Amino acid sequence: MKTDSEIQKNVMDELKWEPILNPSEIGVAVHNGVVTLSGYVDNYAKKIAAENAAWRVKGVQAVAEELEVRFLAGEKLPDNEIAENIVRTLKWHTTIPDEQIRVKVTEGWVYLEGEVDWNFQKEAAFNAIRFLQGVKGVSNLIVVKPRVNTNVVKDNIRKALERNADFEANNIKVETLGNKVILKGKTRSRVEKNSAERAAWSAPGVMAVEDLLVIDYN
């Protein structure tokens, strides 16, 4: 088991490997395996990159991302221009039902609302707009409408886990409660844990995923 100081050093080293980041702008604190990132970055992409870098470090149990976006001169846009850019961007993506999505922007923070049929459409909307100029952050409040019964959802998830070579499906227990999926068991890494959660979200009708998987590094 790594100590907090070892995890802190590893996270700082990982930040140095991110070409878009300036590690001197980001503070790293660790307590009981929980990493806190603080400081200032000049765009939302750097916030995401810093958080992902922290999660890649073995031994990290949780990440508290407290980075603040401070745009460079000329990069900040008024909310109405950000909203217009988002609407245009959503229309360009054929996989996104833009007519079912509502957009609100408040001081650079974007709120996506509405209903879609599949979780990949919800994620596609988020990924399409999160790095647009002027965006400080995104709250993805889009709801996935149920389309199939829970027994079908459960079966689809189990088959997806069995097909995925990234982990042992036998170590993961899948439960359903209405349109909510609950994952239990153990994985060998953060990558395996994330793969299992993606498999759960890929099933139509899933509106929530509770990931109770424990990472066993031994």
Tens-binned pLDDT, residue by residue, of the chain (218 aa) = 889 999 999 999 999 999 999 989 999 999 999 999 999 998 888 999 999 999 999 999 999 999 998 888 777 899 999 999 999 999 999 999 999 999 999 999 999 999 998 889 999 999 999 989 999 999 999 998 766 556 666 677 777 667 765 566 677 888 888 778 888 988 878 878 888 888 888 777 788 889 999 888 76
User: How many independent structural domains does the chain possess?
Assistant: 3
Last residue of a domain, one of 88, 111, 144: 144
**Together in a domain, 54 and 104:** no
Kindly report the CATH number assigned to the domain that includes residue 47.
3.30.1340.30
Q: What is the C-alpha to C-alpha distance for residues 197 and 209, in angstroms, rounded to an integer? A: 7
**Together in a domain, 46 and 91:** no
Strand partners, 24: none
Residue 107 in domain: yes
List, as one string, the DSSP characters of 54-122: HHTSTT--EEEEEEEE-PPTTT---HHHHHHHHHHHHHH-TTS-GGGEEEEEETTEEEEEEEES-HHHH
List, as one string, the DSSP characters of 133-173: TT--EEEE-PEEPP-S-HHHHHHHHHHHHHH-TTS-GGGEE
Residue 74 in domain: no
Residue 111 in domain: yes
Residue 87 in domain: yes
**Together in a domain, 87 and 51:** no
Last residue of a domain, one of 144, 172, 192: 144
| Amino acid at the residue 88 | R
Q: What is the C-alpha to C-alpha distance for residues 185 and 187, in angstroms, rounded to an integer? A: 7
Last residue of a domain, one of 69, 95, 121: 69
Which 8-state DSSP code applies to residue 212? Answer: -
**Model pTM score:** 0.61
Q: Residue 14: which of 64, 54, 61 has the closest Cα?
A: 54
**Together in a domain, 90 and 113:** yes
**Together in a domain, 161 and 201:** yes
**Together in a domain, 187 and 204:** yes
Domain span at residue 195 reads 150-215
Residue 134 in domain: yes
